[in-house]
Amino acid sequence: MDDPRRVTPRTDVVLADPDVQAAVARLGKRIVKQAVDDVLDRCRRGEVDPSHVAAAVVAALPARATSLRAVLNATGVVVHTNLGRAPLSAAAVDALQVAAGATDVELDLVSGRRGRRGRATLAALQAAVPDAGGVHVVNNGAAALALVTCVLASGKNVVIARGELVEIGDGFRIPELLESVGATLREVGTTNRVKLSDYAGAIDAETAFVLKVHPSNFRVEGFTAAVPVRELSGLSVPVVVDIGSGLLAAHPRLPDEPSAGAVLRAGARLVTASGDKLLGGPQCGLLLGERELVERLRTHPFARALRVDKLALAALEATLSGPPTPVAVALASRPEELRRRAERIASELAAYGAVAVESTAAVGGGGAPGVELESAAVSLPAELNDRLRTGTPAVVGYLHGGRLLLDLIALPAIHDPHLVDAVHKAEKGEG
């Protein structure tokens, strides 16, 4: 037999293959060259037939130029931080397509003059929260809070309850953010209790505002006391409320989540929130409140550093004015319907020991830490977990009682067939 090193084709010959050229046009040279190098190494080791190198390269290539993988969210966590928070609606994905090219984000096509950036998105937000006199959108929730603090409280102090000195996750602590833009924190009350008189006693001539932060990822239970926004709004300085979750109006299943509308009606002068939690939109930060205050924030030099991109503006508009988001659909799902889906899927996978079971789901990083959502799951042998998680599409469930549970609440029903296919593939050891 020939020495495989001598019959291994040269790199430039493989790259000239029409199928490989087509892949270069689609994915770029770097990705394809890497695949060519890998396949040629295997060819030299005798693992790939020299006449099949081009075909092996094409087979080894990723489907697209992003290494991000699609995941079927079977975790039972509706807004999953590690899975990119809220999945976008089809309407928002469609909007992204348009915004990705040249688009009139800052041009008024009727007059031919420069237009206000994202005006339609801001109008949709304004319409969704009629209690807000002004609205502005920035890069994320933290940016919204940073802008408010930088503009209103740099060199001044912010009064905040000790129980609201919150860490959101991944080491992001709200008090450190406020200090990083030049505010001094004046902490009042204790971890579990704070009174109106605590706030009133802490306010002085250097106080910019009182900040109320919604504890969106934990709950303090028992001997607790907090001061409602309505009472705080009677104090001598503005009240700013970070509601976190981005709920614009009250949700019946989430009675403890504050909504932007309710907080503004209670007297908050400004509200900040995230776009990619319960609102179900792209990553962005919402600023809502008194018109003059919002205008001051919008026109401040620092605002430019926090500017939201055109993709997020397009997706946010579609989120606000389009059909219900996947998050909204998940929160509205009925346990009987989830149960029926689980039974249908389990019957198709009965050969692998699948059964439909009840499951308890959660809202997740988006908020409502105390809320348990009644749900249903497909229970499978735990051995499938690793293969499903590394398959295509990846399926992420959770282990419970020695079984792998695939919860359906956060999985749009249109993906049920994909879940079934993924389990078949995992069982066969394909991926």
Give me the residues that bind ligand PLP (CB under 6 A), please: 140-142, 168, 213-214, 216, 242, 244, 274, 285
Of 238 and 391, CB closest to ligand PLP: 238
The C-alpha angle 226, 205, 180, rounded to 5 degrees, equals 70
| Distances from the Cα of 124 to the Cα of 185, 214, 262, 303, angstroms | 35, 25, 18, 21
Cβ nearer to ligand PLP, comparing 153 with 213: 213
Q: How far apart are the first and last CA of the chain?
A: 33
Burial class (CB in 10 A: 0-12, 13-18, 19+), 17: middle
Smallest separation (angstroms) from ligand PLP to the CB of 428: 40
Least CB distance from residue 213 to ligand PLP, whole Å? 5
Minimum gap (Å) between residue 339 Cβ and ligand PLP: 31
Strands 134-138 and 113-114: unpaired
With tokens 């605590």, the residue in question is 198
Of 8 and 272, nearer to ligand PLP (C-beta) is 272
Is-contact 404 379, C-beta < 8 A?
Answer: yes
Q: Which is nearer to ligand PLP, 302 or 352 (CB)?
A: 302
Q: Give the other-Cβ count within 10 Å of 392's Cβ.
A: 12
Q: Kindly state the smallest distance separating residue 144's Cβ from ligand PLP, in Å.
A: 8
- For the CB of residue 148, give the shortest distance to ligand PLP in the complex, in Å: 12
Closest CB 314 distance from ligand PLP, rounded Å: 18
The candidate with the shortest Cα–Cα distance to 215, out of 368, 373, 372, is: 368
**Please, which residue, 244 or 280, has the CB nearer to ligand PLP?**
244
**Strand, helix or coil at 173?**
strand
Distance in Å, CB of 238 to ligand PLP, minimum: 18
Dihedral (C-alpha) 129, 135, 139, 145: value to the nearest 10 degrees?
-90
| Rounded Cα–Cα distance for residues 307 and 22 (Å) | 37
Which residue lies nearer to ligand PLP by CB, 213 or 376?
A: 213
Residue 39 to residue 22: CA distance in whole angstroms: 17
Kind plus residue range of the DSSP H or E element containing 202: helix 196-202
Considering the complex, state which of residue 256 and residue 430 has its C-beta at the smaller distance from ligand PLP.
256
Cβ closest to ligand PLP, residue 61 vs residue 213: 213
Shortest spacing between CB 183 and ligand PLP, in angstroms? 15
Pair of tokens at residue 84: 């990119």
DSSP string, 355-389: EEEEEEEEEETTS-TT-EEEEEEEEEETTHHHHHH
Q: Shortest approach of ligand PLP to residue 67 CB, angstroms? A: 23
| DSSP β-bridge partners for residue 71 | 394
Of 367, 361, 431, 366, nearest to 393 by C-alpha is: 431
- The smaller minimum CB distance to ligand PLP, of residues 279 and 378, is found at 279
